Amino acid sequence: MPDGLVAFVKAECPTCVTVVPVLQQLASSGRPFTVYTQDDPAFPPGLEAVDDTALEESWRQAIETVPTLMRVEGGRPVASTVGWLRSEWEELSGLPGLGPGLPEFRPGCGSRTLDPGMPERLAERYDADSLRSRRVEVAELEDEFEAMYARGWSDGLPVVPPTRRRVLRMLGGTRRDPGELVAVVPPDLVECSVEKVAVNAVLAGCLPDHLPAVIAALEAACTDEFNMHGLLATTWFSGPVVVVNGPFRKEAGMNAGVNALGPGNRANLTIGRALQLVVRNVGGGRPGEVDRATLGNPGKLSFCFAEDEEGSPWEPLSVERGLEAGQSAVTLFAGSGVQGVVDQLSRTPESLARTLAACLRVVAHPKLALAWDALLVISPEHGRVFRDAGWSKARLRQELDQLLTLEGAEMVRGAGGMAEGVPEHLAGGTLPKFRPGGLLIVHAGGTAGLFSAIVGGWVSGAAGSQPVTRAID
């Protein structure tokens, strides 16, 4: 780019039209001055402008607003201003008395580089080295959807072709560099970049706005605490459950209400699916290979939902787990599926807590304790019972802990005619159903229906998986 003053304009911008007399003043000042025009080579009238209708220079200079006036030294911009503000144009140009008769200020217009679909088209055209992933060519007569399935890129459902343009558009959802390492993904311990996450987010059907949550979920999944490798290799049912908190929920259009744990919401389904596809396609975690689940569960395709913070009687899960209020976050839990809880008659928290405890006791097996965590999803109608009584989440958890302190004599192997159970030496004491911190409580669901849900976990603690919370950048 030439040294001196440089302006970027377009004919369709009323402010650019307004400042044409100023551009003419700058051109006649005798100082180096160059105008780039984005949409009409004949604009501005009376000036020889550089035709930038292909937008290459506007893209390279990251122009977001026209008019933009900048001062260039040594081929690099050293100062700039956008829109029209007489004082700033005079200071930047060093010329007094610009635009006599014009208003002092006029806001600019959006650059053509920001037109819908344009950023990724320009990146595709002018940034050949922006993506590092291997290109896979599909033959002209080959069905691209069948080709992706045949190459093992899908989870059994159709996936979206990750074209260069779509991946570039997806990368627009994060400020992180495409080449930045996000995680080392099990089971094959393959390094995964932001770009690789974006590719799989495209496959899953995500929007760019969803990408930050997918990245955070992958970071959480690939920790030693969550133990994604073990979760894959176990013959148990479980897979990662993603609970989302904070402003991101609304920004991404997530569902925390009716059918929150089910179908119908793009963000819920594709964020969870993208995480699973990264583990499958990057890490090699394919069913029937490392993934050895005896039965599995439909949530291993995708299990992601938002907490209903606004309607909740309690603090959000992320705050309970140490993050600041208002911070967007994901919490990963190794969940085995949804167990419904029905209680349409309890109107006191004591009665409802007893129902919840009775149902929680059967997680994995009613005679096993400490080995499995659980995620308790309280619906709004059940939540209202606790709110009206003034019960905090800590109060509910305390009540459940007491109700789920179980007699060892009823839990040992053989008791009740069931061979399954805890070892004989525990017969003389009591056992808590869940380890400390092993019962998570969130609020979600529709406002009609006196139902809640339990998502049973996998082997808990250091021997299995622990819930992990990560902030969304």
CA 426, 432, 438 angle in degrees (round to 5)?
130
Q: What average pLDDT does range 386-398 have in this prediction?
A: 97
Q: Phi/psi zone of residue 401: left (φ > 0), alpha (ψ -120 to 50 degrees), beta?
A: alpha
Looking at the chain, which residues constitute the CATH 3.40.30.10 domain(s)?
4-115
In 3D space, the residue among 86, 99, 92 whose CA is nearest the CA of residue 23 turns out to be 99
* Structure token digits, residue 111: 């650059």
* pLDDT attached to residue 284: 96
**DSSP strand pairing (430-432 vs 405-407):** antiparallel
* pLDDT attached to residue 428: 92
Instruction: State the pTM of this model.
Output: 0.85
* pLDDT attached to residue 139: 86
- DSSP class per residue in 267-332: HHHHHHHHHHHHHHHTT---BTTTB--SS--GGGT--EEE---TT-SS--HHHHTTPPTT--EEEE
* Averaged confidence pLDDT in the chain: 96
Confidence of residue 460 (pLDDT cuts 50, 70, 90): confident
Q: Is 204 helix (H, G, I), strand (E, B) or coil?
A: helix
DSSP bridge partners of 72 = 4, 77
Q: Is it the case that residue 138 has pLDDT exceeding 90?
A: no
Within 50-205, strands assigned E span 50-51, 65-66, 68-73, 76-82, 84-85, 105-106, 109-110, 181-185, 190-193
Query: Percent of the chain, pLDDT > 90?
Result: 92
What CA dihedral angle connects 333, 336, 337 and 338, to 10 degrees? -70
The span from the CA of 40 to the CA of 48, in Å, is 12
What's the fold here for domain 4-115?
Glutaredoxin (3.40.30)
Among 119-128, 168-177, 378-387, which is the least confidently predicted range? 119-128
Confidence of residue 37 (pLDDT cuts 50, 70, 90): very high
* pLDDT attached to residue 461: 78
Q: Which helix (H) or strand (E) holds 375?
A: strand 372-378
The span from the CA of 149 to the CA of 271, in Å, is 20
Q: Which helix (H) or strand (E) holds 211?
A: helix 211-221
In the numeric block, the tokens 């780019």 are attached to: 1
> Half-sphere exposure of residue 443, counting CA atoms within 13 Å on the CB side?
23
* pLDDT attached to residue 137: 85
Q: Which helix (H) or strand (E) holds 446?
A: none
Q: Phi/psi zone of residue 416: left (φ > 0), alpha (ψ -120 to 50 degrees), beta?
A: left
Confidence of residue 128 (pLDDT cuts 50, 70, 90): low
In the numeric block, the tokens 């809880």 are attached to: 341
Q: What is the pLDDT of residues 93-127, one digit of tens each?
A: 999 999 999 999 999 999 999 999 899 889 888 88
Q: What average pLDDT does range 313-330 have in this prediction?
A: 97
In 3D space, the residue among 336, 409, 403 whose CA is nearest the CA of residue 373 turns out to be 336
In 3D space, the residue among 51, 48, 80 whose CA is nearest the CA of residue 66 turns out to be 80
Q: What is the pLDDT of residues 261-305, one digit of tens each?
A: 999 999 999 999 999 999 999 999 999 899 989 999 999 999 999
Q: Is it the case that residue 219 has pLDDT exceeding 90?
A: yes
The answer, yes or no, to whether the previous bond of 187 is cis (omega within 30 of 0) is yes
Where is pLDDT greater, at 135 or 470?
470
Q: What average pLDDT does range 169-176 have in this prediction?
A: 94
